[in-house]
Amino acid sequence: MKINNPLIALAIAAASIGSVLIAAFIEPFASMNPCPMCMMQRALYLAVGVFAILTLITVKHTITKSIFASIGLICATIGTAVAGRQVWLQHLPAEEVPACGPPLEYMLEVFPLLEVVQHALMGTGDCAEVQWQWLGLSIPGWSIVLFLGLALGNILILFRRG
């Protein structure tokens, strides 16, 4: 079976949107409370998924396919950076962890959007808490792995014919 660009775009969309749906389903059962960085990563997963769907729709049009795959690659790269910052926060000594901040919902109501994004990128004590691990990686650690895979998929679409 030949793996072509539409199949790669479909896999990117399924993985990115699927990860958000799985998180939303598991979260209440595991008593997990997502921090602002987690919410930002979810938004970036959805963005990567939307651009993968747009890439899939326009796969026959080289220029638009390349534009959408490039934007998907940028979103996946930003997601890798956000997840990397969260992993860094998780490995800080306890005395260096930033104080916990207000919930994201409150910040969205009170602060301008750019200030909310800035606070979310800085991280809080909530972001430094390791709520779950598998094979030695926390959720943001696995998020890095997935974002890198999504980025690689977009790179394949950009540089492959067909």
- Residue 40: C-alpha distances to residues 8, 23, 81, 114, 118 (Å): 24, 13, 11, 13, 11
Token pair, residue 37, equals 């960085």
Q: What is the pLDDT of residue 111?
A: 74
Asked whether residue 132 is assigned to any structural domain, the reply reads yes
Give the per-residue pLDDT at 85: 85
Residue 29 lies in a domain: yes
Q: For the domain that residue 112 is a member of, what is the CATH number?
A: 1.20.1550.10
Taking the chain (162 residues) in runs of 10, the rounded mean pLDDT of each run is: 80 93 80 78 94 90 90 95 84 65 70 72 64 75 92 91 62
Contact 104, 116 (CB under 8 A): yes
Residue 161 lies in a domain: no
Report, in angstroms and rounded to the nearest whole number, the Rg of the chain calculated over CA atoms.
17
How many C-beta atoms lie closer than 10 Å to residue 156's C-beta? 15
DSSP β-bridge partners for residue 138: 133
* Residue 108, token pair as written in the block: 């969205």
pLDDT of residue 110: 75
Query: Is 106 part of any domain?
Result: yes
| Helical (H) or strand (E) element with 100 | none
Note down the domain range covering 81.
Answer: 5-154
For residue 143, is it within any domain?
yes
Asked if residue 116 belongs to a domain, the reply is yes
Residue at 162 is within a domain: no
What backbone phi and psi angles, to 5 degrees, belong to 138? Answer: -80, 180
Would you state the pLDDT for residue 144? 94
Q: Which residues lie across from 133 on neighbouring strands?
A: 138
Asked if residue 37 is part of any domain, the answer here is yes
Rounded distance, CA 5 to CA 59, Å?
7
* Alpha carbon distance 44, 153 (integer Å): 15
Domains contained in the chain, number: 1
Task: Give the pLDDT of residue 102.
Answer: 67
